[in-house]
A and B are shown apart, each in its own frame.
Chain A
Amino acid sequence: MRVYARIAALVILVISTSLAQAEIREPDPGAALDIMRASGEGYPITKPGQPIHFPEDHLAHPDYRIEWWYLTANLTDAKGQAFGVHWTLFRTALRPGSDAEGWTSHQMWMAHSAIHTPQGHQYEERFARGGIGQAGVELTDTGQFDAWLDDWRLLGTAESPVPGSLTTTVNDITLQLDWQADTPWVLHGDHGFSQKSGQGQGSYYYSQPRLQITGQVIVDGTSIPVSGEGWLDREWSSQPLAQDQQGWDWFSLQFDDGASLMAFHLRQENAEPYVRGTWIDADGQSRSLGEGDLLIEPLEWGEVDVDSGKDARKSLPLVWRIELPGQNARWTVWAREANSWLATLVPYWEGPVTAEGSSGGVGYLEMTGY
């Protein structure tokens, strides 16, 4: 669901009703998420009981309004310095109906590539229209999973994205990552249907929470070997959010003991946050966390540079408390780098976090709608 922010960017392109709104470095965060709440009329409806099929569902579902492929990774170099990577490819259908090849395609693509290095945070955003081959998710002639936009590319060794590799750039930095995983795909919610509100809105959502990554970061011609763990998300829907939801906070945490946690905290108007998640054992067994299984609350707010618009800084919750009362487990989760704001078409915060408490761990946090 993380990627909703990205999709929200599309909203601006698609639904923006005025030039003023399109000139959005200072967007109304609520309006930016309109596409997430827009009625999915004309598109297929996401509902429980639709089984997920591999490898077919790794590929695009062009009939659905929005979809993404989303990678985050916590990596270190030989000196133990931390790197964070997040790369995402979004697809959106501009209108319902069956798609066409060529310039008349309904699809539009967007990708973000971001990296945290010891020198700081950098990111880049790209757009492409579908149908002409500039971006897409398909199987190659040799049967490999292939997701790309321009020269950014997530390529599987076979028809699944795992094992696979990512070739991308962030401004002048080149990234080359390879991965494989020992644990199975995790289907969130009800066999892959992840409900996002009390009114039934939701998405199809599955993840690979334990990617074993090696690769290199190339800066100014110097190649820095890195390694660590990553998390790959797949999600698609036609109307994931309810009308009264303002934004969300999303966590992917990988604990030292091999367990993992996906948790989201949807902030709602006039109601308690909608909080759900998935607990994944070290052996890959997963369990959905329903109402009362999971507590999430902000502990400390901090100032964040947003480097655009009138407000150079924003206040965001940078330290969180996460508790699983049923397991008697609790963690404090804090952002490693406060300045992880992406002043993209739809701006949001996304960066690596550290967890301490019942067990130590690392992960990624996404905050939207602020």
Chain B
Amino acid sequence: MTGTLVRLLRVLMTLLSHHRRHPLQTAFLLTGLVTGVALWSAVQVINAHARTSYAEADQVLGAQASHWVRSASGQGVSVEDYVQLRRLGWRSIYPILEQRLTTADRGVVNLIATDLLVLPGDDTAASSGLPEGGWMRLVTPPYEAWFPETLAQQLNLQNGDRLRLNSGTELPPARLFSREQQGLRAFMDIGAALTLLDRSRLSYLVVSELSGDAEDRLSADLASLNPQLRLVANQQRLDLTELTQSLHTQLAAMSLLSFAVGLFIVFNAVRFSLGARRHTLTTLRELGVSQRLLLAAITLETLVMSLIGTVGGLGLGYGLSQLLLPSVAATLQNLYGAVLDYRLLVQPTTVVQAWLLTSAGLVLALAWPLWRQAQRSIQDQRFEPAQWQQDAHARNRLLLGSLVLALLAAVLYFQLTSIAMGFTVLALILFAGAGVLPWVVALVLRGLQRALPESAWRLNWACGEGLAQLGTLRTALMALLLALTANFGVDSLVDSFRTSLSDWLEQRLAADLFVQSDTLDIDDLLANPGDWLIESHRRNGLTVRWQNRPTQIRGLNTQTSDTRALPLAAETDRASAWFEGDPGVIFANEQVRYLAGINLGDTVHLPVQAQTVAFEVVGFYHDYGNPTYQFYLPHERVAGLWPTAGEQGLGLWLSGGNDALAQAEAALLEAGARPGDWTRRDDILAISLRVFDRTFAMTAAINALTFTVAGIALLASLLAIHQQRLPSYAHWRSMGVSNPEWLLIAGLPLGIGLLLTWLLSIPLGTLLAGLLIYDLNVLSFGWTMPLIWRFEPAITLFWLTLVVAGVTFAISALQVRLRLPQALKHLGEDAA
């Protein structure tokens, strides 16, 4: 037993000695591993963190939130009603004000405010979790607004700065501090916020807990207090988990792609080292080391590497996740209203998963090739064909594999039902494309060799050299292809989405002013409008639960110009009946079509009081950025069916007059609205697109990182190539090959390879974008849009690739320059 162990250790040390002799190869192996694991784990940490945050969605600012008390009118809850509830003994109720604020430079800041004195908690809420100066500064003029650090950075706020709002108001002096579940929001004392923003009503009340018959008693108290008040169970936890699933699947898929690219580097490094280690393995076998012992040693080496990779990757990944979190948090908050904390924790499951993933990757990329090498009979190794010939065989095998993958992708594609499956197809396509690449490059090089005239012998030589390098270069090219394809595909997706979104917004945001006010008397405003007003559109609505999800019902004026121009993604011939006010027909957003599986002409049953009312779906409209189901009905229909439906905003079309805006604002103030209650069309457009851009910042970040990893793979390959080819380069030198000639012969193949990689990434990226837009996006979010193909992203990627290639080639060429003299001295010696 001990003897075996000692022998095992000795074999292991012999195996590991390779890494001491070739630290660069080991460095690249670990770099690939660590960066791959880092990218994957960064996303994993964020996903796990987000899920934890959803689990905390039954809390608000650190206090339990089992129910909400909301006003059915959508106008919030009066302070009097709140105090009455407290005086009735409902001590588990606390008030919340949530307000979306527009900053002076058209940014958006969400504000949340409560009264810390009444916030339930284990500890006296007022005393725990307060910064220096505490509660006192929060409630006494000039008050304080607490900003989480990330938000403060985005807004460029320092301690003590005051954020200026679009309405001219200034928020209180900022303090960089964050409470539980504050998320990416500013926090203020509710009294200070109401005073400062000139509001009178609370957004809603939170009920921390209701035990036994308390729910019924509270409902009864609400009914007798104010019939508008509703007790709503907090289902956010479930809703968020469900709604955000698609997003997390997408992130996870992207991170796995990054991991795969990282694995390519590992694979690369291991393959280069195989040659050097072959001798060690052969010697060990010749010394009588059993296959079992060798396998155990290889397993141990893999284990050691996987541990280093996991620890390093998680460490780097944690740092990376800190960088990415603000972007993801912004996405989740903008899209789903999910609030993410800023205290990231690496969960034990993430660690275990990272290690398993790393180990699996290493078995594939390190242990398996090593083991195969070790298994080859000693005889075989003596008669090994030239490496470049092996490569030709490998290329053909890869091609064959790719075709199988492509076929599989095609078969799966036609049975696409889930996002996970969609990403599987996507991965299959990517890897099929990657597998074809070396074969294509070889084909082109050989074709060029054949086509080139006698006089172009240098180019011919370069092509030949390319074929010799290809075995080593191919993995890096494949990794680069993945990165380029992902970049081009996602760029196309984001471009298409952005174009569709802004077109759609342009169309939908037809009015000049949009008003959302809980104090405005709309009847009064519209009773005697001045000549500044051309047209108005008043919407009502409410949120119900349909198909066990929050579902918005909106009442539209069927006669206004914006409704008349409503672009429908699909419609039946009965669509016109909707505009004529037919009570039995309804429009639904595309989410209803693709996520709830409702088809044109289907009947939907919406909850009205305790019953349901049936409607025929006669049209679907685009509704980008909305994660929930939504239905459009005529305004009067909504008001008739749901008396509790509240105002959902007012659109105003202004006359072309010079002072129309000023008149409108004066009229709004006159009718009870407050500054900040209305937003100009251009501002909404700008804000929406800014939100969009922030939402996709994460995607861009992952892409950039994947590209970086591919760049590292390329550098590793080039260094390995030059190391392998150094004796040849020395011989060329001995024949008098000049520096420019060397550059041409050794560098041109890289150029051709990269060019082909880039070229191939365009159709592949287009395919990817198509899949994302036409299938995955629809499955994930229920949004459809056309793919808008542009060449510009490809051009940008071309230059980017050129720069990366230039830098990496320069580094590797420098290495050649440094090592060539030594190689020349050893020219002609037995190649060991």
Contact = CB atoms under 8 A, between A and B. Distances in A.
Chains A and B in contact, CB within 8 Å: yes
Contacts, number: 79
Interface string B126-168: 1110111111100110000000000000000000000000000
Interface in B52-106: 79-80, 83, 86-89, 91
Interface stretch (A50-58, A124-132, A287-295): A124-132
Given A13-B135, A15-B136, A126 B91 contact: yes
Contacts of A162: none
Interface in B152-205: 190-192, 194-195
A266 interface: no
A53 B263 CA distance: 87
Given A94-B140, A108-B117, A151-B88, A133 B128 contact: no
Nearest to B93: A150
A150 B88 CA distance: 7
B115 interface: yes
A95 B192 contact: no
Given A94-B140, A134-B86, A128 B190 contact: no
Interface in A123-172: 125-129, 131-134, 148, 150-151, 169
A24 B127 contact: yes
A31 B648 CA distance: 52
A134 B191 contact: no
B87 A134 contact: yes
Given A103-B190, A104-B191, A95 B127 contact: no
A18 B127 contact: no
B579 to A, nearest CB: 47
Given A19-B132, A94-B136, A132-B83, A127 B191 contact: no
A22 B83 contact: no
A150 to B, nearest CB: 5
B399 to A, nearest CB: 65
Contact of B89 (A13, A128, A151): A151
B222 to A, nearest CB: 16
Given A103-B190, A129-B117, A12 B127 contact: yes
Contacts of A133: 79-80, 83, 87
A23 B87 contact: no
Interface string A56-80: 0000000000000000000000000
Given A127-B124, A128-B118, A129-B115, A17 B133 contact: yes
A219 interface: no
A131 to B, nearest CB: 8
A104 B190 CA distance: 11
Contact of A19 (B134, B190, B191): B134
Chain B CB within 10 A, most for which of A12, A16, A104, A127: A127
B124 A125 contact: yes
Contacts of A108: 117
Contacts of B192: 103
A224 interface: no
A318 interface: no
Contacts of A127: 117-118, 124, 126
Interface in A74-123: 94-95, 102-104, 108
Contacts of B136: 13-16, 94
A96 B505 CA distance: 52
Given A94-B139, A150-B86, A13 B127 contact: yes
Interface residues of B, number: 29
A150 B79 CA distance: 14
A14 B140 CA distance: 10
A345 interface: yes
Contacts of A15: 136
Chain A CB within 10 A, most for which of B79, B86, B131, B133: B86
A19 B118 contact: no
A128 B86 CA distance: 10
Given A18-B132, A103-B190, A103-B194, A13 B83 contact: no
Contacts of A94: 136, 139-140
A23 B80 contact: no
Contact of A95 (B89, B117, B134, B140): B140
A22 B139 contact: no
A129 B191 contact: yes
Contacts of A95: 140
A19 B130 CA distance: 6
B192 to A, nearest CB: 7
Contacts of A344: 124
B686 to A, nearest CB: 33
B140 A103 contact: no
A264 B692 CA distance: 68
Interface string A1-28: 0000000000011111111001110000
A127 to B, nearest CB: 4
Contact of B127 (A17, A131, A169, A345): A345
A13 B195 contact: no
A358 B79 CA distance: 56
Nearest to A17: B132
B127 A151 contact: no
Interface string A336-354: 0000000011000000000
Given A22-B127, A103-B195, A108-B117, A13 B140 contact: no
Nearest to B95: A132
Contacts of A128: 86, 117-118
A300 to B, nearest CB: 33
Chain A CB within 10 A, most for which of B89, B139, B195: B139
Chain B CB within 10 A, most for which of A131, A134, A151, A345: A134
Contacts of B131: 19
A150 B94 CA distance: 12
Nearest to A12: B127
Interface string B206-231: 00000000000000000000000000
Contacts of B127: 12-13, 16, 22-24, 345
Given A103-B191, A128-B118, A16 B124 contact: no
Contacts of B190: 103
Nearest to A109: B117
A103 B79 CA distance: 10
Contacts of B80: 133
A12 B117 CA distance: 13
B89 A22 contact: no
A345 B127 CA distance: 8
B134 A22 contact: yes
Nearest to B86: A150
Contacts of A13: 126-127, 134-136
A134 B83 contact: yes
Interface in B108-133: 115, 117-118, 124, 126-128, 130-133
A342 to B, nearest CB: 12
Contacts of B128: 22-23
13 contacts: A13-B135, A16-B127, A16-B136, A17-B133, A22-B134, A102-B195, A127-B117, A127-B118, A133-B87, A134-B83, A134-B87, A134-B118, A150-B91
Interface of B: 79-80, 83, 86-89, 91, 115, 117-118, 124, 126-128, 130-136, 139-140, 190-192, 194-195
Closest 3 CB pairs of A and B: A103-B191, A151-B89, A127-B117
Given A129-B117, A150-B89, 4 more contacts: A22-B134, A94-B140, A104-B195, A131-B191
